[in-house]
Structure 1
Amino acid sequence: MSKHAITILFLVVTTIITAQNKTCNCLEELDNISELIKNAASYKIQVKKQNRETELEAWKSQIVKEIENDTLKDYFCVGYLQKFASFIKDRHNEIYWRPDDIPTHVPMYTKTLDTRLVQNDGVSGIYHMGSDKIYVNKESDGVWYGITLSSNNENWTEGSIRLKIQQTPQGNYELFEFYQNGILFYQNNIKIQDGRIHGTFWNTSNQYFFNKNHKNNFNYESLGPTVDYIGIKTLKRTRSLMKEAEQFYEENLPKLTHQNLIIDLRNNGGGATKQADDLLKYIRKNTDIQHIYVLINFKTGSAAELTALALKKDPRTKIAGENSRGMLEYGYGNKSFSGKTDCAGINAVFSTEHVDKKYSPYEIKGITPDIELGNNADWIEQLLQTN
């Protein structure tokens, strides 16, 4: 690997975001979010109803200390707001801000790097996500920065910090990641294993067997004499999609005559479980099918997860892949709560519906597959080999 020398000074900043000529302080925005989150259905159930206000206030005090001790707090502020909100186990609660000028709102690295000197710590290394390449380098004890080496996106120049990984006192990892559009997201308890930052696309081998971009919203294919395949991209209940689903099921459900059926829900962010009702009803009555495999990945969420669990009730079903997103216990109902912080206008979207407490074990953690599939070969091929 060639040597990448990056010597760029940190920008000296004193504000998180300048919005409408206002200077917005991260601690003030934390106060704003701590008030807004009281509108979430999950806050009322997990905090108010259980008398955990004191615990939440202590958690907030911890976040305050972390913000004060972070020299890059103005860049990672939204991530700290998300970390505060993570006290409540509800993936439908979202806090985000979209910068109008990405380069001025992301930090630049300050030291010289040599990508030939990768530390053997299980985290450091060169990671890929499509055309983007970063060098994850250990900055200090328990802190790593993911520094841009190259990108087809002109907003991400060499030296810009794409992500920060921190190790918690409990030994877990947490992630602050800038998406390519500049939006910052926080994740706790992430797993870094086999050359991949799980819960993301970043991996050292530049392979994406865990990913699936379905060509159509509903897909059918015969994969040989013993396997049928159905891939569902979305479960959204728009009129056009409902009509498309109805037509797809009418044309393709009678084709499910083989002993093995793969139902691919990778990257399916949900919608409404009713979109899968016809599929579930048909499968229950189908005696030709002996084995059902449901593929899920870290982007399988909400109604798609509920559909996977509904399929799991059938004793013929095994779930395969990796842990899903973990968006089951709460929802937006007829309408989510939406608000913005007073200063910077950081967006807050919170749940308004408690779907069912029985889904609590899956919230945030996601559904754990019966068959775990790695990023070393095509997932469908791996499944067929287990047959």
Structure 2
Amino acid sequence: MRKFKKSSISLLFFIFSIAFSNAQINDCSCKMDLEFLNEKIQKTPSYKVSKAAYEMEYAKIKKEIRNLNSGYECFLELNKLMLSLNDRHCNLYGINTGLDGDLKNDTAKFKIFKKTELFTVYPRPVISLDSLRTALRKQPINSIEGVYFRKGYMTLGVYKMVESDSYRAIILDSENEVWEAGEVIYTLVPYGHNYLLAVGGSMTSKRMISYGERIENGVFLTMRFQKEPSIPNYSVSKYPESTYLREEISPETTYLKVGSFNSWNPTLSDADKFYKSLEGTLTKKNVILDLRDNGGGGDRNSNGLFKVLKKYIKLNNVYVLVNHRTASNAEQFAYKLSDFENCTILGNRTSGTAAYEIVDSNYNLPCDDYLVVLTSKKHSKYLKLESIGIEPYIKLAIEKDWMMQVKNYIRRNN
């Protein structure tokens, strides 16, 4: 009889434990994710630098998310919290990677995907899209608000949110089977120096993402939506199909395209070969170094190029082309070169993602909806660039051919 009682008690305890565990899983609130994220953030170098600003934002966000479950609004608030770190390498993604080639090419699977929580998670404001489009078309070219186009993808209406500094980018028309008219693809959160944090979904997969954006003269400099699609955008990388390229463009000038400082093979081995080919062969007076769309990498790659150009620049001129997508180690590289008198930086302001480094600090948040990427190393000498970027010595007009502008500048100043 005693054995029966003991076993019954054990069984009841086991059942209670399962029930309690399941209740915890089902009660997955934004608060749980926030507390876990806060604990991890406090171990980062950027927390130590920006502690006061972060603590203020944490107290505010804690109140904002009190009644939120895991979802888009939670994702947005957690991203706002991370902005206060002033560390643009820290990032938050959705764990669900969304639509891939297998799902897209299988009609049955794609129909199932359209019924998933990820497909329907993005806000759909109750608003007349036609009326909004009419109002936004009246906005001037230099206003963030307006109607933006990207052929083959979608048309966006960007409008300022009521009682907020943020903007919403709502889809007015879609040529993309993943997104529908009426969905908000991004919330754009200002964070100083005309930068915006775009919190939303991937255009192709609908995965939850956030990224740094800047809108200048009616152009999304990262995602390349434009108010006037007929006007060319010359800020984009030349020869996008090539990572490393050399071209002799005049008797006095050599053009070098360096599209990545990725420190892993095969890119690293390709870089090493390219840099070795430059040794002793840069004999002309001028080099144009094109770092547009170079998202960085590491010193294992970029040091090889720096070694070559350090010798060359003492007696010759280096003209560095940068854009908003020049980031991380590429920004560091351009900044180091700018110390030399014969270096001139041209283009538009860089990404402002330079002071911190990621070293295997990724965590799934408790609700298993979000993945956070945190930094673990600080580069103090580049703190002045974080969320500010490198302002070029010569700003180039986006709508005019950048290579022609650089050539004209060289002609006038040699």
Aligned sequence identity (%): 24
Correspondence for 2:43 among 39, 44, 47: 39
Q: For residues 192 and 295 of structure 2, what CA distance do their matches in structure 1 show?
A: 32
Is the 1:259–1:288 Cα contact (8 Å) retained in structure 2?
Answer: no
Correspondence for 1:210 among 235, 244, 248: 235
**In the alignment, structure 1 residue 153 sits paired with structure 2 residue 150:** no
Deviation at 1:290, TM superposition (A): 3.6
Deviation at 1:338, TM superposition (A): 1.7
Deviation at 1:155, TM superposition (A): 0.8
- Partner-residue secondary structure (3-state), 1:146: strand
Deviation at 1:200, TM superposition (A): 4.4
Aligned counterparts, 1:182-331, within 5 A: 182-186=206-210, 192-198=215-221, 200-206=223-229, 207-212=232-237, 214-286=240-312, 290-331=316-357
Deviation sequence 1:27-74 (CA, Å, 0-9, x none): 332222112212323224543xxxx3xx5333123224555799x994
- Measured at CA, do residues 91 and 166 of structure 1 come closer, stay the same or move farther in structure 2, by a change above 3 Å? closer
Map of 1:90 onto structure 2: 87
Is the 1:22–1:343 Cα contact (8 Å) retained in structure 2?
Answer: no
Map of 1:341 onto structure 2: 365
Structure 2 unaligned blocks of 5 or more:
1-23, 99-115
Deviation at 1:252, TM superposition (A): 4.0
Deviation sequence 1:238-286 (CA, Å, 0-9, x none): 2433332232233344442332211111221222223233433333333
Q: For residues 288 and 31 of structure 1, what CA distance do their matches in structure 2 show?
A: 53
Count of aligned positions: 357
Aligned counterparts, 1:46-61, within 5 A: 46-47=50-51, 52=52, 56-61=54-59
Aligned counterparts, 1:127-166, within 5 A: 127-132=148-153, 133-138=155-160, 140=162, 142=164, 144-165=167-188
Is the 2:322–2:346 Cα contact (8 Å) retained in structure 1?
Answer: yes
Q: For residues 158 and 29 of structure 1, what CA distance do their matches in structure 2 show?
A: 31
Opposite residue 370 of structure 2, the aligned amino acid is I
Deviation at 1:145, TM superposition (A): 2.7
- Measured at CA, do residues 44 and 286 of structure 1 come closer, stay the same or move farther in structure 2, by a change above 3 Å? closer
Q: For residues 32 and 25 of structure 2, what CA distance do their matches in structure 1 show?
A: 16
What RMSD, in angstroms, separates the aligned Cα atoms of the two structures? Answer: 3.3
Q: For residues 159 and 250 of structure 1, what CA distance do their matches in structure 2 show?
A: 53
Is the 2:95–2:369 Cα contact (8 Å) retained in structure 1?
Answer: no
**Normalized against structure 1, the TM-score is what?**
0.80
- Partner-residue secondary structure (3-state), 2:307: helix
**In the alignment, structure 1 residue 103 sits paired with structure 2 residue 101:** no
- Measured at CA, do residues 26 and 374 of structure 1 come closer, stay the same or move farther in structure 2, by a change above 3 Å? farther
Structure 1 unaligned blocks of 5 or more:
1-19
- Partner-residue secondary structure (3-state), 1:116: helix
Deviation sequence 1:9-31 (CA, Å, 0-9, x none): xxxxxxxxxxx973533333222
Is the 2:89–2:356 Cα contact (8 Å) retained in structure 1?
Answer: yes
Is the 1:337–1:352 Cα contact (8 Å) retained in structure 2?
Answer: yes
Q: For residues 287 and 296 of structure 1, what CA distance do their matches in structure 2 show?
A: 18
Deviation at 1:304, TM superposition (A): 1.3
Larger deviation, residues 73-82 vs 307-316: 73-82
**Normalized against structure 2, the TM-score is what?**
0.75
Instruction: Indicate the structure with greater helix content.
Output: 2
- Measured at CA, do residues 276 and 137 of structure 1 come closer, stay the same or move farther in structure 2, by a change above 3 Å? closer
Q: For residues 86 and 166 of structure 1, what CA distance do their matches in structure 2 show?
A: 9
Opposite residue 59 of structure 1, the aligned amino acid is E
- Measured at CA, do residues 69 and 368 of structure 1 come closer, stay the same or move farther in structure 2, by a change above 3 Å? farther
